[in-house]
A and B are shown apart, each in its own frame.
Chain A
Amino acid sequence: MLTDLLVCRPDGAAIALGEVLRNPTLLVMLRHLA
């Protein structure tokens, strides 16, 4: 599931996307760094 996928905080700690998506309305941008 999408929510099970891991992303990393800048300090390198892994966090499940589901933990990021705790707010019911979240705008997620997937982008290159400018």
Chain B
Amino acid sequence: MANRIDEFRAHGLHVVAICMSRPTTLTHYLASRSLPFPIFADPDRKVYAALGLGRTSWLRFIRPAIIWRYLKMVTAGAKVRRVPEGEDALQTGGDFLVAGDGRILWEYRSNDPTDRPSINQLLSLRPVSTIDDCARST
């Protein structure tokens, strides 16, 4: 995502990230890398709850496809780390295209933390340039 942020901007899509980390955890995370989009903390997971995002189960993680994906991430250099205090490894996330008035125009609810739409799929989303456009799209 970070490597292709210019394509999102050219496509008229502005990106923000929300995670369940505490602000202090985010500060430490961002000190070691810069992200080309804003990232916010939702340690109480109110946004997650409002969007109806639930938890997966540990059984989901022992499926071969999931183990294979984690192994690929680790061999690609991803670090295995403990889940920070206050965070829930089983909390699922998602990707949402949201209009300025808060209406959700498109959503992808992940079944597990490795379940994500492709970058090309996200880039295929239709931008909405005005609230009127948003009204016409519904």
Q: Given A30-B47, A30-B53, A32-B87, are A25 and B127 neighbors across the interface (CB < 8 Å)?
A: yes
Q: Which of B39, B53, B122, B125 has a CB less than 8 Å from the CB of A10?
A: B39
B contact residues vs A (CB 8 Å cutoff)? 1, 8, 12-21, 23-27, 29-30, 38-43, 46-48, 50-51, 53, 78, 87, 89, 91, 93-102, 105, 113, 122, 125, 127-131, 133-134
How many residues does chain A have at the interface if contact means C-beta atoms less than 8 Å apart?
29
Name B's interface SS: mixed
- A3-B101, A24-B130 given; 13 more Cβ-contact pairs under 8 Å: A2-B51, A3-B102, A7-B40, A8-B42, A9-B40, A9-B41, A11-B27, A12-B24, A25-B99, A26-B98, A28-B18, A30-B19, A32-B87
Query: When chains A and B are docked, how far (Å) is the Cα of A4 from the Cα of B103?
Result: 13
Closest to B24 in A: A12
- A9-B23, A21-B102 known; A31-B93 Cβ under 8 A: yes
- Bound-complex Cα distance A29 to B24 (A): 20
User: Complex Cα distance A33/B78, Å?
Assistant: 11
Which residues of the partner chain A approach B130 to less than 8 Å between Cβ atoms? 24
